[in-house]
Structure 1
Amino acid sequence: MTMRVEALAVDFGGTLARPGPNPDAAIIAEALHGLPGTVIPDGFAAAFDDVTRQVRAADRQRGEQTPFAEQLRRSGVHLPNPAAAAEAVFTAVPDADVDPRAADALRQLRRMGLVCVLACDTQRPESVRRRTLDAAGIGDCFDALVLSSTLGVRKPHPRCYAAVIAASGCPPERIMFVGDTPAKDAVAPYTYGMRATLISPSGRPEGLDPAIGVITHLSDLPAYLEGLS
C-alpha cells in the first residue's frame, strides 16, 4: 500500500517560475546609491565581476552559498547595513515571473490539504521572494520557505533537505519533492528518504530511478498524486 503524501516541497525557478536576472555591477551601484553610510569604491564593477567568478567556483566546490552582502564587501563596498543592501539590490532587480498554470496547480494542491514548502536556491532574501509569491497570489499557499540565501548552502547539500523535512513537520517518506533538476530535485531528495517527482518536458532521463515520478509540468502533479492514492 502506497503511503499517503502529506507535504509538498516545491522548487522555484524552472518549476513555479521562469528565473529572473542576476544583478550586474551597474544596477547594484545605482540601487546602493544614497543608502546611509554605504560607500562604493572606484573600480567596483571590475572587482565585483572578479569576486563573483571566484565565489561561484568556490561555492560550487563546497556546496555552499556566500551571502550576497559578503560578495559586495569583498568587492570593496563599505556596508553598514548588509541586510538593507541586499533588500535594495534585489528590489531593484526583477524577480522571476511565476507561471500562471503552475500557480493554479499549486492552489489546487493546497486545497488538497498538503503542507507546502518552497525549497529553492536563490540569492534573493526571503522578504523579496515573499513579495514575488504574494504578487502572484500564491504567498498564502506556503507554510514555510527554505531558501539557500537563508541557509548558506545550496541543493544538493544535506542541510537543505534536513531543513525541508523539519519545515514539513512530517516523516520524509510522506513528503513529495518536485522540481526540474534531476540531481537536486529528484535524486538527492529520494536519497534522503523523501519521495520525488521530476518535471521533465522531454520525458524520463536515462538512468533515473523508476521509483522517482516524472511529469511534464507542475500542472500535472495534482492528477499524479491522486493516482498514487
Structure 2
Amino acid sequence: MVVSFDCFGTLLAVQTPADPASAVAVELSNRGVSVPTDWSVAYGESHTPVPSGGETSLTEHVVHALESRGVEPDRDRCARAVATAFAPDVRTRRGARIALAAAAHKGQIAVCSNCSVSGLVERALARSAVDRSFDAVITSVGCGWRKPHPRAFEAVAERFGTSGDALVHVGDNPDTDGGIETIGGTFIDVNECPLETIPARLQEIEG
C-alpha cells in the first residue's frame, strides 16, 4: 500500500498572505527589484500558456509579469522574494503523526500537494512537528500538474512503480484530493475521517 497525504489543510495548517501580490511586491522591493506601478494588475494576468490542470512556477510567473511591464529582473532575486513572501507560519494538525505512523506501517508514504512555490512544501514540513521523512514529496510545481488532474496522482504511482489502484490519498478537499479516484485509487476525506482515525480506516481498506 502507498499512502499519500495532502500537505496544507491536511497535515499542516499555515497562514498565507492575505494579499499575495502585495507580499511579493514588498520582497521584490527589499531586493532592489523595480516594481511596476500597476503590479497588482500584472500579477493577476496570465503571461504564459498553461494546459488545463497544469501548473507553472510562481517564480516564473513573477518574472514574466515583470517582463510584461518592461522590467528585466534577476531570476534568483525573484525566487528569493517569492520564497520569503510565502514563508509559512506552520502548525501541525492534531493526529498528523498518528496518521503518518499508521501509513508508514502499511507501506510507503508520500506527500502530494498543490503548491506553485518551489520548495515551500519541503520547508513547511521541516518547520513542523511531523517527525518522520517521506518516501516521496510530489508537488504540482514539481510534476507540472495540479490535483485533481489524474497526472498529479499518476506522478505518485510512477515514483513508486505501482498502479493507481494501489494508492490511498488522504486530503481535506474532495474537489481536488478526490481526484485520486479517477485513476482507481482510494480517497480518505479528513473532514469525515479525522487524522486520529486513519489507522482504523487503513486497516479497513487493507481488509
Q: TM-score scaled by structure 1?
A: 0.74
1:146 corresponds to 2:138? yes
Amino acid at match of 2:199: P
Structure 1 match to 2:40? 46
Given that 2:147 and 2:176 are in contact with CA atoms closer than 8 Å, whether structure 1 keeps it comes out as: yes
Given that 1:7 and 1:174 are in contact with CA atoms closer than 8 Å, whether structure 2 keeps it comes out as: yes
1:198 corresponds to 2:189? yes
For 2:143 and 2:135, locate their aligned partners in 1 and report how far apart those are by CA, in whole Å. 17
Amino acid at match of 1:165: A
Structure 2 match to 1:220? 197
Where in structure 2 are there 5+ consecutive unaligned residues? Answer: none
Amino acid at match of 2:86: V
1:66 positional shift:
2.8
Superposed CA offset, 1:175-194 (max 9, x none): 211112223222x2122021
For 2:163 and 2:38, locate their aligned partners in 1 and report how far apart those are by CA, in whole Å. 47
Given that 1:48 and 1:71 are in contact with CA atoms closer than 8 Å, whether structure 2 keeps it comes out as: no
1:119 positional shift:
0.5
Q: Aligned residue pairs: how many?
A: 200
Relative to 1, partners in 2 of residues 1:80 and 1:10: Cα closer, same or farther, differing over 3 Å?
Answer: same
Structure 1 match to 2:115? 122
Given that 1:13 and 1:96 are in contact with CA atoms closer than 8 Å, whether structure 2 keeps it comes out as: no
Relative to 1, partners in 2 of residues 1:124 and 1:96: Cα closer, same or farther, differing over 3 Å?
Answer: farther
User: Over aligned residues, Cα RMSD in angstroms?
Assistant: 2.7
Amino acid at match of 2:190: I
Relative to 1, partners in 2 of residues 1:44 and 1:96: Cα closer, same or farther, differing over 3 Å?
Answer: same
Percent sequence identity over matched residues? Answer: 23
1:134 to 115, 126, 139: 126
Structure 2 match to 1:211? none
1:86 corresponds to 2:86? no
Structure 1 match to 2:2? 7
> How is 1:35-114 mapped onto 2 (pairs within 5 angstroms)?
35=31, 39-51=33-45, 54=46, 62-76=52-66, 77-82=71-76, 85-95=78-88, 97-114=90-107
> How is 1:182-193 mapped onto 2 (pairs within 5 angstroms)?
182-186=174-178, 188-193=179-184
Amino acid at match of 2:172: D
Given that 2:113 and 2:140 are in contact with CA atoms closer than 8 Å, whether structure 1 keeps it comes out as: yes
1:91 positional shift:
2.7
2:158 to 158, 163, 166: 166
Relative to 1, partners in 2 of residues 1:110 and 1:137: Cα closer, same or farther, differing over 3 Å?
Answer: farther
After superposing the two structures, state which structure 1 stretch, 157-166 or 67-76, moved more: 67-76
Amino acid at match of 1:81: R
1:30 positional shift:
2.8
Given that 2:114 and 2:146 are in contact with CA atoms closer than 8 Å, whether structure 1 keeps it comes out as: yes
1:225 positional shift:
1.2
Given that 1:87 and 1:125 are in contact with CA atoms closer than 8 Å, whether structure 2 keeps it comes out as: no
Q: TM-score scaled by structure 2?
A: 0.80
| 4+ runs deviating over 6 angstroms | none
**What is the DSSP-based 3-state SS (H/G/I as helix, E as strand, rest coil) of the residue aligned with 1:75?**
helix
